[in-house]
Amino acid sequence: MKPVALVTGGSSGIGRGIAVALAEAGHDIVLNFVPPLDLAEETGSLVQAAGAEALLIAGDVSVRSDRERLLQSTLDHFGRIDLLVSNAGVSVKSRGDLLVDTDEVDFDRVMGINLKGPYFLAVAVANAMVKLREAGTVPSPRIVFVSSCSAWAASPNRGSYCVSKAGLHMVAQLFAVRLAPDGVLVFEIAPGIIDTPMIAPARDKYVRRIANGLVPQGRLGTPEDIAKAVIAITRGDLDFATGQVIHVDGGLGIRQL
């Protein structure tokens, strides 16, 4: 039986790249998404073209009933979950001055999707994984949190996003420590500036800054760059490195003089 990967926020961008790469590597895919449906269906078609099954499940990870349905539907359909890629995330609705334009309602929305949702989904999935491993159904369960360079790089015009990703870093650390004795490995992938719809409002600025040396490798990242890190994790290449942060950022985070 194929291993099963649950990818949240899988309809486009980084999530799509990860889902397709996992399908090509031999996983069946549970694709969690929020509307529009057509984007998720496009990703599902790419997964199927790679020879894998795609189970599409709509749901908002910030909503408890949606998280419960997502996990239960996965287990009902496949009977297993080998990998959780907690990728769903949103940015602020509009960038603005930290002291003037911060909106409390939007802050709660960003925290719910980027931090609370991944935390409580991981609680539920981890409990299921421990039982599946004890039963011999899933020998090597793994959880991957997709955070961001914004966990450490301050952007005062989108403060809630930065805070949510900094919090997600600690979530990954907590779960890595707690789950290591149970044989569930946990990793954090911290993307740099990745060419996805999320960066559209600032893409031109990023391109100019990269041309001026912001990123040592001299380009925007791609969803496929992130997917390669996930595949290395699933192959077992990092099985003695639980809790590590994998920075896929072209050198953005290197301190220079």
Residue 220 backbone dihedrals phi, psi, to 5 degrees = -70, 150
pLDDT tops 90 at residue 239: yes
Q: What pLDDT band is residue 201 in, cutting at 50, 70 and 90? A: confident
Q: Is 19:29 a contact under the CB 8 Å cutoff?
A: yes
Give, as one character, the DSSP assignment of residue 198: G
Predicted pLDDT of residue 101:
84
| Residue 191 parent element (H or E) | strand 185-191
Listed in sequence order, the residues at least 6 apart from 110 whose beta carbon sits closer than 8 Å to its beta carbon are: 90, 91, 92, 160, 161, 164
Q: What pLDDT band is residue 100 in, cutting at 50, 70 and 90? A: confident
Identity of the residue numbered 44: G
Q: Is 28:237 a contact under the CB 8 Å cutoff?
A: no
Q: What pLDDT band is residue 142 in, cutting at 50, 70 and 90? A: very high
Q: Is 155:162 a contact under the CB 8 Å cutoff?
A: yes
- Higher-pLDDT residue of 94 and 185 is 185
Percent of the chain, pLDDT > 90? 93
Q: What integer best gives the mean pLDDT of the chain? A: 97
Q: Render the burial of 201-223: b for 16+ CB within 10 Å, e for the rest.
A: ebeeebbeebeeebbeeeebbbb
* CB count in 10 Å sphere of residue 58: 15
User: Residue 23 corresponds to which tokens in the numbers above?
Assistant: 């399908």
- End-to-end Cα distance, the chain: 52
Residue 42: CA atoms inside 13 Å, Cβ hemisphere, count? 11
Region 4-248: CATH code? 3.40.50.720
Domain limits of the chain?
4-248
Positions annotated as catalytic residues are: 147-148, 161, 165
Report DSSP letters for 156-179, one per residue.
GGGHHHHHHHHHHHHHHHHHHHHH
Q: What's the burial of 224, exposed, middle or buried (CB within 10 Å: 0-12/13-18/19+)?
A: middle
